[in-house]
Amino acid sequence: MARIYEDLTPLYRRIRVIQRLIIALVILMCVFIWKMQILDYNRYWQKAENNRLREIKLTPQRGLIVDRNGVILAKNRASFKVSFIRENVTDMNLSLERVARLLSMKKEELAARLAKYNSLPDFVPIVIKDELSVEEVARIESHQMEFPELRLAMEPQRDYPFGPFASHVLGYLQEISLAELRHRKNQGHEVGDMIGKTGIEFQYEEELAGRKGLVVEVVDSLGRKVKELVQRPPTRGNKVYLSLDYDLQAKAEELLKGREGAIVVLDPRSGDILALASFPNYDPNKFIHRFSPQEWVSFVQDPRHPLENRAIRGLYAPGSIFKLVMALAGLDSGLVSPWTTFFCSGTTIIYGHPFSCWYEPGHGAVNLVSAIQHSCNIYFYNLGKLLGIERIAAYARQFGLGKLTGIDLPGEKTGLVPDPEWKRRSRGAPWYPGETISVSIGQGPILVTPLQVAVLTGMIALRGKRVTPHLFLQVERRKELVKYSPAQPAGEGSWSGKQTIFDRVITGMWKSVNAGGTGQGARLEGYDICGKTGSTQVVSQDTADKLKRKIKTHSWFTGFASRDNPRVLVTVIVEFGGMGGQTAAPIARQLFE
């Protein structure tokens, strides 16, 4: 009888395939378990711990900022904020609707706020609203069980008791950006932290910020506190003393109110800045909450530019103030002596072009002292022709123009001292001799900041010694006072040429104020004020018509007192203020007084 065999080959083939699939799944499962246990151990351990442990960071109080006499310019006040934890959300759309209703926010605004931090892990709390009212705090507390995604916390908030006072010096706080967070990752900062963005708040962030505290709590499955494991109180930031004098700063701001310009008052002996005013200003209290990009744009696009610190960032032609540099350069180079005279008839022809003095009848024969006293353009036109642009530029840089002053504020601008190389590089054109004549009286492409003019004036007052202007006076660290120490040794960068040249220039400045010169508006009986005015026309008739503005010059004055013992220095610029002697000089007189 024949035996019948069944062909089981297909069955065996299927069994082998199934075996391989099972082996692959087992290997895959082993790899997944290995990844969970080894590679992702910290992540899952943290998640497990978070189910029973709650870590709360305690924000420290920021250090006080006070003036030289202890007047508080920046302090703190209690405030509440609420954060959103995306990890605790199952239905994001529903959560956004409910939270927006609870906090009286727009859903779109809340979504945009969270979207800003999409790149961060879901367990990171994101601050969605601060400066909460008592009613809002009570509402969140009473609905805590219904909103596991919300976390309420207390936060010391910055307070500027005098509003816009010294706003460009103090600066303001704003929420740390993601870029700053990456840059400052070793400084203990987190998402939602408020940090200094400008001014002293930025410059001395490490001194002012303090150190965060920490509380670790054991919680139950409903998030209720069972016990406290760790408590480390926050450390308050250090108290920073500024060189500002409150009364002098207040007076400077009062004199600038309603105008556009800047005032610098400093002690030329130490570099202490006693007042640094810029107007228009702003109220830094408006920046202490976390506002939207639209709110920021409204500040930036303000046509008056209130955020701009004109004292260190405003770029202006120096006008006749630059004649001080010209006089010093002429004397030091030996191209003129104190007795060299040029005749001013009101106009002159140089390189085939007419150049005018501001005083149409002319000053007659003038020497260096009388040229400074009466600010004679013709004298300095001729001196500029003798010096040449390269020599003029070199002396200007020796007196600190075209470079940073070194003030302890961020964002300072360098200004511009033009020369042939600069023009070839920036404009692709040669330098023409007639341009030198314009630069000789501080016109043309030369640009300075008010603080640079103050530093120049300080070097003249101290007969060539240069000090670095600064706002920091001292810091109080746990009752220990650490005083200002200059970054460079005293006198470094000072004048190395002839010392005698300064006396002649100072004589001209003294006569400008006290002997019927252009600076007589700054005269104060018995104080021997030495000064120099300046005026710079900045718009043409066409531009003036478009702006619906009369053609007016920027008004400059810079000077010091007293002549032989300089203790205070004042530099003033008023945009579109008219002649320097008419506007800036009287403002300076009130500050000297």
More confident residue, 297 or 518: 518
Residue 44: the pLDDT is 65
Write out pLDDT tens, residues 502-511: 999 999 999 9
Q: In this predicted model, which residue has the larger pLDDT, 498 or 174?
A: 174
Band (pLDDT 50/70/90 cuts) for residue 549 is: low
If DSSP states are collapsed to H, E and C, what string results for 386-425? HHCHHHHHHHHHHCCCCCCCCCCCCCCCCCECCCHHHHHH
What is the C-alpha to C-alpha distance for residues 528 and 461, in angstroms, rounded to an integer? 12
- Tell me which range, 10-14, 64-68, 121-125, 484-488, is most confidently predicted by mean pLDDT: 64-68
320 is annotated as an active-site residue = yes
Q: Determine contact, residues 365/343, Cβ cutoff 8 Å.
A: yes
Residue 539 pLDDT greater than 70, yes or no: no
pLDDT tens sequence across 221-238: 555 666 767 778 888 999
Q: How confident is the model at residue 376 (pLDDT cuts 50, 70, 90)?
A: very high
Look at residues 410, 172, 131, 411 and name the one whose alpha carbon lies nearest to residue 283.
172
Q: What is the pTM of this model?
A: 0.83
Q: What pLDDT score was predicted for residue 187?
A: 65
Confidence of residue 1 (pLDDT cuts 50, 70, 90): very low
Q: What is the mean pLDDT of the chain?
A: 87
Average pLDDT for 510-534 = 94
The residue from 320, 375, 438, 440 that is catalytic is: 320
Question: Which stretch of 72-81, 187-196, 274-283, 358-367 has the lowest confidence by average pLDDT?
Answer: 187-196
Output the CA–CA distances (angstroms, integers) from residue 582 to 186, 378, 517, 518, 526, in the order listed: 54, 22, 12, 9, 21
d(CA 509, CA 328): 12
- pLDDT band of 290, cuts 50, 70, 90: low
In tens, the pLDDT along 438-465 reads 999 999 999 999 999 999 999 999 999 9
d(CA 196, CA 284): 11
Report the share of the chain in percent with pLDDT over 90: 53
Our measurement of the distance from residue 278's CA atom to the centroid of its chain's CA atoms, rounded to an integer in Å, reads 12
